[in-house]
Amino acid sequence: MQFLNNPDFKKYILPNLNYKKTVYAYFPFHYHIIPGYFRNFLYKKLNINNFTLKNLNKNKFKLNNSHLIQNQENKLIINIDVDSYNGYKNLDKFSIFLKNQNDCKTIIFIPSNGFNYSEQHLLNLIKDGFEIGCHGYNHNGKLPFYNFQKMESFFECINIYNKKFNITKFKSPAYIHTLNSIYFTMKYFKEDWSFRDIYFIKNKFFGTFNSNKIVINNFNFRFINNLEDVFYLNLNLNKKEIIKIIIDKILYLKNNNITPILTFHPESHFSGNKKIFELFKSIIFESLNCLNI
Ligand SMILES: [Zn+2]
């Protein structure tokens, strides 16, 4: 694990690794058996007490920008994180809309063995210009906590999936990584998309505090640099206020020459919901509008 000596790894990645097993990693079952709407409710209770928009805006400007890299890519990157079969069933709604948006690159992160997807369907999405990424093995939250040998066998399975769909990018479910899972990610992928520049639990802020990417031994760590739907849908904000937080951040990223990354979940309890899907479309329109001025 040579990367451990890298100063950027020490500064941005090491403090953001998970050393303690998360609660659902102890469950003898897959936590998805708890209905999504109920999990959403628990999440809101546990994580988003007392959050104030003012705090986020204040913290945002402290982000470290020492690693600015001139971007020669699309103006906006969209991540669609498909966690479950329910999300997969809603995926076409998103792909049909996103196919017609210029200046937008979409990466669809799917677990390699999470549910029964159609291989032909994924190949058709690639033909339509989408990129497929790997969203873990089956999204049960346990993979990063397996011992080295067990984890290796799982990543070998993941690698078969990678080859089928030309996958180079990994995003760990729930943004959970350990040293061993980083080791295998760097072995089987070219990029990791599992760290966020800033997020909050209760009223505390965490993250890399760097909105751009870092490169370690030719391997890219891309930091997710805008609030994902899971977060803002759980705040007591209206549509206008949600769009304002996102556009504020996009302007900040644009001024610093960093490509914004927006994350959505197609599940019916998140952006796949009929009403929230309209919010998703408005966010894309407004973001592109702001980037094109
Ligand atoms: Zn996920």
Band (72; pLDDT cuts 50, 70, 90) = low
What is the distance between the alpha carbons of residues 14 and 36, in angstroms, rounded to a whole number? 31
The sheet that has 76-81: what strands, in order across it?
213-216, 219-224, 191-196, 169-170, 131-134, 104-110, 76-81, 261-264
Answer whether 179's CB lies under 8 Å from 143's CB. no
CA 162–ligand 1 middle distance (angstroms): 17
Which residues on neighbouring strands pair with residue 196, listed in sequence order?
A: 224
41 pLDDT exceeds 90?
Answer: no
Q: How far is the CA of 148 from the centre of ligand 1 (A)?
A: 23
pTM: 0.92
Which CATH number describes the domain made up of 2-292? 3.20.20.370
- pLDDT of 285 reads 96
d(CA 178, CA 168): 19
Closest CA relative to residue 176, chosen from 139, 133, 213, 231 = 139
Q: Where are the beta strands (DSSP E) in 2-64?
A: none
Q: How far is the CA of 100 from the centre of ligand 1 (A)?
A: 25
Query: H or E segment at 213?
Result: strand 213-216
**pLDDT at position 94:** 98
Both tokens of 241, joined, read 């206020």
| Closest-CA residue to 222 (of 75, 82, 69) | 69
Q: Residue 265 has what pLDDT?
A: 97
CA of 235 to the centre of ligand 1 (A): 19
What CA–CA distance (Å, rounded) separates 127 from 225?
A: 27
Query: What secondary structure, in 3-state letters, does 214-264 show?
Result: EEECCEEEEEECCCCHHHHHCCCCCHHHHHHHHHHHHHHHHHCCCCCEEEE
Q: Which two structure tokens, joined as six digits, stand for 191?
A: 């990029």
Q: How far is CA 63 from CA 59, 209, 249, in A?
A: 7, 5, 11
Euclidean distance between CA atoms 52 and 69, whole angstroms: 31
What is the distance in A from the centroid of ligand 1 to the CA of 11? 25
E-strand stretches of 73-212: 76-81, 104-110, 131-134, 169-170, 191-196, 199-201, 204-206
Domain boundaries, the chain: 2-292
For the residues 29-33, what does the mean pLDDT come to?
79
Q: What is the pLDDT of residues 83-126, one digit of tens each?
A: 999 999 999 999 999 999 988 999 999 999 999 999 999 999 99
173 CA distance to ligand 1 centroid (A)?
A: 4
Instruction: Output the CA 110–ligand 1 centroid distance in Å.
Output: 8
